[in-house]
Each structure stands twice: as C-alpha cells, then as structure tokens.
C-alpha cells in the first residue's frame, strides 16, 4: 500500500515533507499510549491496596484494559475503512479522553467496577490508535525499512512507559503509604482520590490532541483499505505468517504485561523497598525497552528481523531463569533486564505479520492488535499461579512464552512475501 506521489518535483517534495510530519505526529501518539499503558502498572498496586485485592483480583485491571483490544479491534478496522486513518486517530483520542474522565466518578464513588469500566473505554481508544498507527508507520516509506521505522517509533512508546512509573509513583502511589484518618472507608476514599488530578490532566491533553489531529494535514494511502468481510478474513488467516504472528503477539504482550504488572510487588518482596521506590525501579524495565528499540532500529538495518527476534527470545529465557534461581537485587535486576529483550519483539512480529498483505494490511493489523488481548489473559494466569506458588515461581513460567516467540522468529527466517493484490 503506497502513498500518493507524483512525478512533479514540487508535489513530490511536499508529499515527502507531509510524510515526515505524519511520522513525527504518529511518534507522539506512540509516546502517549505507552505512557497510559504503563500507568496501569502503578494503578495495579494502588487499587490493590485501596480495595484489598488478591493478585488474581488485581490482575482484572489489566484484563479490563486489554480486553478492549479484543472487543474493539475489528470495529476499529471498520471505522478506519469508513473515515480513513487520520479520522480514526482523532476518534481514538476522543475515546481515550472519555475513559480518562471516567476515573473521576470512579474515585469519588470508590468503585472498583467503575475503575474497570474506565480502563476498558481508555483501552478501546488506544485500540483504535494501534489499528491505525502501526500499519500507517509501515507504509510511510520503503517496505524493507518497515521494521526499523516501527521499532524507532516504538522506542518513543517505550519512553512513555519509562517515565510513567516515575510520575505515577510520585503522584498516585504516595497515597498508599499515607497513614490515613483511622476510618477505613474514609481512608480508602482518600487513597482512591489520588488518581483524580492526574487523569483529569490526561483527559484535557487528549481532547486537545484530538482537535489538533483533526486539523493536521496527513498523507492517506492511495489504495483504499479493504473492508472487513468473511472473505477478507479468510484471505488473512490463509497466510500462516499472519496467523502465527497473531499468536506470537498474544503471548508477547501477555508476558510483558505480566512482568510489568507484578514487578512492583516482586521488588518490594525481594529487597524490602517502599512501593514508591519500587515504582521508580520499574521505570528501568520500560527504560530498557526504550534503549533497546533505539539500538534495535539500527541493528535491523544490518540483521534480519527474524534472526534478531530469536536471539533476544533466548536471552529473555536466560534472564528469567537467572531471576528465579537467585535472590535479592540480582534476582530483581535480572527480571528488569528482560525489558531490554522485549524492546524489538512487538515491532518485528507486527511487521513480519503484515508483510505482503497489501490492501489487506488494515484487517491484518486489526487481527494483530486484537491479539494484544493476551495482556488481559496471561496476567490473570500468572496472578492465579502467584496466589498458589508465590510470585517468583509464577513469573518463571514466562520462560515458555519466550520459547514460543523465538520459534516464530525461526519460522519466518529467510521468507519474503509478494504483496497481496
């Protein structure tokens, strides 16, 4: 799927300039949804303390958020087919803003179900952004550079996930450590209210961004995206690389979210620091993903994506094994270092999955984004295992996930696919 360009030098130059502006604007969106996604890692221990939840119950926070990917992904594809990529981005930002505003009544009523509903709406908006933005980036240039471009924009996504635990820990988690009023109900209300200010500011910023994207001039594909139908779905699933890519995304996101979700609790149990200090340490987990993506965008210009995917998967297995076999800071830092391995997994799997889909790219993208529902399922499994076996033992099961991801890299090695007409 190519963007409109003509042989007229002035028009071509304007088209290239518009494409650069589009890539910069999309990079900002990657940062925003990375920030909001990682903020869930702060919300999880916060709401666990407010509502006295078990590990499995607290994992419902991630379930509500990532379930939106499964439910809203295909409708998002239909929205994009109807109003285009730019319109889809603006609508997605509006949905995100509404979800952020819902945190205010949830905090006022101290209602865990309402918090879950807010997270679902917020996640639905991010789903629409993901369905539009990921293939959009792969189309802004030569196909052979798609993985490198997506990895670079994902690096700014990781910048958002890196600073979110620091900011969220300072603004939200500090309420968990307060002494309270002595009245348990009043204290819970005081703790829950800590989210109101941050999420009100987020909602206002998202509304402003939606208006800006509505008026921003962005390139649109010259080829109309295919509408989601039974026939186009069959065409997509007939491609093993896409089908296996959907499974790989499901496993990868679920595993990455599981580690990030329980890392604060793991750190406090392993080395005895406060939850605020642990939240700051979690920023190194996401920071590793940011650094790794900048490095990965350079490596992918020289190394075959599937080979690099297999190598970092093996490394992740080794680090989780080291974390399980040791104690104290060695165990903590080994688990945090897995973030560096996670860095290039999503962009590589995604770019490999949509390669050769042509006009089916939008539908293939929606299926890959739908697979992000792994973030709703796998943390529940890890949480249930943690309640029974202990958190460290439960996280050791993530080794199996990285083995599967590595096998996807081996399967796609050396393959090159023609575009679907």
- CB-based contact 306:409 (threshold 8 Å): yes
Q: Tell how far CA 207 is from the center of its chain.
A: 21
Would 4 be classed as within a structural domain?
no
Assigned domain for 2 exists: no
Residue 8's pLDDT is: 34
- Answer yes or no: is 336 within a domain: yes
How high is the pLDDT of residue 321? 96
* Cα 412 versus chain centre, distance: 23
- Specify if 120 maps to a domain: yes
Q: How many domains does the chain have?
A: 1
The rounded distance, in Å, linking the Cα atoms of 54 and 167 is 25
Distance CA 150, CA 148 (A): 6
pTM metric for this prediction = 0.73
CATH code of residue 96:
1.20.1250.20
- Please give the backbone phi and psi of residue 361, each rounded to the nearest 5 degrees, phi first: -60, -40
Residue 288: inside a domain: yes
Q: Is 8 inside a domain boundary? A: no
* Upper half-sphere CA count for residue 291 (Cβ side, 13 Å): 11
**Would you state the pLDDT for residue 419?**
42
Is the torsion defined by CA of 315, 316, 322, 327 positive or negative?
positive
Residue count of the chain: 421
Tens digit of each residue's pLDDT, the chain (421 residues): 333 232 333 333 435 666 677 788 888 888 998 899 888 888 888 888 888 888 888 888 888 998 998 898 888 888 887 887 788 889 999 999 999 999 999 988 888 999 999 999 999 999 898 888 877 776 766 666 666 777 778 778 878 888 888 888 777 766 554 444 455 666 667 777 788 888 999 999 999 999 988 888 776 655 555 566 667 777 777 778 888 999 999 999 999 989 988 999 999 999 999 888 898 888 888 888 788 888 887 888 888 888 999 999 999 999 999 999 999 999 999 999 999 999 889 888 988 887 777 667 777 877 888 898 898 899 999 999 999 999 999 999 999 999 999 999 999 886 554 444 4
Does the residue 189 lie in any domain? Answer: yes
**Residue 381 belongs to what domain range?**
14-412
- pLDDT on residue 233: 73
HSE-up (13 A, CA, CB side) for residue 233:
8
For residue 221, what are the β-bridge partners? 3
* Residue 272 burial (C-beta neighbours within 10 Å; 0-12, 13-18, 19+): exposed
- Residue 3 domain flag: no
pLDDT of 3 reads: 32
């Amino acid at each position: 799927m190519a963007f409109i360009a003509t042989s007229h030098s002035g028009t071509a130059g304007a088209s290239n300039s518009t494409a650069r502006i589009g890539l910069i604007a999309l990079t900002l969106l990657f940062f925003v949804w990375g920030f909001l996604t990682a903020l869930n890692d702060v919300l999880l221990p916060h709401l666990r303390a407010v509502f006295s939840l078990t590990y499995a119950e607290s994992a419902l926070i991630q379930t509500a958020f990532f379930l939106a990917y499964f439910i809203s992904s295909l409708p998002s594809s239909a929205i994009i087919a109807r109003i285009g990529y730019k319109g889809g981005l603006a609508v997605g930002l509006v949905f995100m803003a509404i979800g952020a505003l819902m945190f205010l009544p949830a905090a006022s009523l101290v209602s865990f179900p309402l918090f879950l509903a807010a997270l679902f709406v917020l996640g639905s908006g991010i789903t629409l952004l993901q369905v539009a933005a990921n293939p959009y980036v792969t189309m802004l240039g030569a196909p052979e550079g798609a993985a490198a471009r997506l990895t670079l924009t994902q690096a700014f996504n990781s910048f958002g996930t890196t600073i979110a635990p620091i900011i969220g820990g300072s603004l939200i988690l500090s309420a968990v450590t307060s002494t309270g009023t002595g009245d348990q109900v009043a204290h819970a209300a005081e703790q829950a209210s800590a989210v109101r200010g941050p999420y009100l500011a987020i909602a206002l910023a998202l509304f402003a961004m939606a208006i800006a994207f509505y008026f921003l001039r962005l390139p649109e594909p010259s080829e109309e995206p295919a509408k989601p139908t039974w026939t186009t779905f069959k065409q997509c699933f007939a491609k093993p690389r896409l089908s296996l890519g959907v499974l790989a995304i499901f496993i990868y996101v679920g595993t990455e979210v599981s580690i990030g979700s329980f890392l604060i609790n793991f750190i406090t149990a392993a080395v005895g620091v406060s939850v605020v200090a642990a939240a700051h340490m979690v920023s190194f987990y996401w920071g590793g993903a940011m650094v790794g993506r900048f490095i990965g965008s350079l490596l992918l210009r020289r190394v075959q994506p599937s080979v690099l995917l297999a190598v970092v998967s093996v490394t992740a297995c080794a680090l989780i094994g080291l974390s399980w076999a040791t104690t104290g800071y060695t165990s903590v830092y080994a688990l945090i270092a897995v973030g560096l391995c996670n860095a290039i997994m999503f962009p590589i799997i995604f770019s490999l999955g949509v390669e050769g889909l042509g006009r089916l790219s939008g539908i293939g993208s929606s299926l890959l984004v739908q697979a992000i529902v792994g973030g709703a399922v796998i943390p529940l499994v890890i949480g249930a295992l943690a309640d029974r076996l202990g958190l460290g033992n439960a996280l050791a099961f993530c080794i199996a996930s990285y083995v599967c991801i590595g096998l996807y890299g081996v399967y796609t090695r050396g393959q090159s696919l023609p575009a679907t007409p």
